[in-house]
Amino acid sequence: MNVDISAPPWSGATGTRPTVADAVEDGFTAAGHAMGLVAMLLLTATVVLGTLHSGRVSSANWPRFAVHAVHRNVSLLAVAFLVVHIVVAIGKPRSGLSWPVAVVPYSTAPHPIWLGMGTVALELLLAAIVTSMLRLRIGFRSWRAVHVVAYASWPLALAHGLGLGATDRRLGWVMAVYLGCAVAVAAAITRRCLTVDADRDARRAAKAGQR
């Protein structure tokens, strides 16, 4: 008996049953997406903590400097996960991506828009970190301007994740992670907009006095 088996329905996109190379590629893909998801969670925590800090949220156990310190540490951790995410994505076999993708937005053939959003988000984050390190040198206004613009990295990262993760989008728990991030950031921004900090009038009076 000689039965020809051509493209069985359980085979993958390549038309063959999974090989070791396919398994390695799938492992890289999953690792890249996992790191991206964790980076998204940490970036959300960074944005929420930064928004709370700018709203002068504090308590007896959590003074403002503690909120700021956690905001800074979590943002550095988010960048660490982002770097691993990028290294895994580019290092993945047959990824079709090269290193310039990590620094030059919209420079790649597959998915230029979604990948470019991720690149811009990374660069905004790095700009926020570098300007925070040079805050005393560049002045408060410049630092604040860059920091405010850097908040755009969050929606860009969200769009990057939703736009590229076609497979992940079908998973309910992944969408729940993204939804949870969106709700957390929306709640923090709403709180920030509705809260009038206690020393606002004093700061405005001091500013007016400087002029």
Partner 1 sequence: MDPSLRGRTLRRARARTLIAIVTAASVVAGAVLATLFWVVLTQTHASGMPTPVPRRGEVQIDDPSSAAVGPGAAARS
| By CB under 8 A, residue 190 contacts partner 1 | no
| By CB under 8 A, residue 16 contacts partner 1 | yes
Question: Contact, 7 vs 15, CB < 8 A?
Answer: yes
Question: Contact, 37 vs 176, CB < 8 A?
Answer: no
Of 173 and 207, the one with the shorter C-beta distance to partner 1 is 173
Which tokens hold the place of 190? 């709403």
Which DSSP letter does residue 84 get?
A: H
Q: Which of 47, 52, 55, 61 binds partner 1 (CB under 8 A)?
A: 61
Expressed in angstroms, the distance from the first to the final Cα of the chain is 95
> Quick one: the chain helix, strand, coil %, rounded to 5?
75, 0, 25
Question: Contact, 165 vs 39, CB < 8 A?
Answer: no
Of 33 and 160, the one with the shorter C-beta distance to partner 1 is 33
**Secondary structure class of 20 (helix, strand, coil):** helix
Cα of 160 vs its chain's centroid, Å: 9
**Secondary structure class of 53 (helix, strand, coil):** helix
**Which residues within the stretch 76-95 sit at the binding site for partner 1 (CB under 8 A)?**
77, 81
> Alpha-carbon distance 90 to 97, whole Å?
5
Under rule CB under 8 A, how many of the chain's residues touch partner 1? 46
Q: Which of 43, 52, 70, 176 binds partner 1 (CB under 8 A)?
A: 70
| By CB under 8 A, residue 178 contacts partner 1 | no
| By CB under 8 A, residue 56 contacts partner 1 | no
Of 72 and 135, the one with the shorter C-beta distance to partner 1 is 72
**Which residues within the stretch 112-171 sit at the binding site for partner 1 (CB under 8 A)?**
167-168, 171
| By CB under 8 A, residue 198 contacts partner 1 | no
Q: Which stretch binds partner 1 (CB under 8 A): 35-43, 109-117, 135-143, 181-189?
A: 35-43
Of 4 and 199, the one with the shorter C-beta distance to partner 1 is 4
Which DSSP letter does residue 195 get?
A: -
| By CB under 8 A, residue 15 contacts partner 1 | no
| By CB under 8 A, residue 27 contacts partner 1 | yes
Residues that bind partner 1 (CB under 8 A): 1-5, 8-12, 16-20, 22-23, 26-27, 29-31, 33-35, 37-38, 41-42, 45, 60-63, 65-66, 69-70, 73-74, 77, 81, 167-168, 171, 173
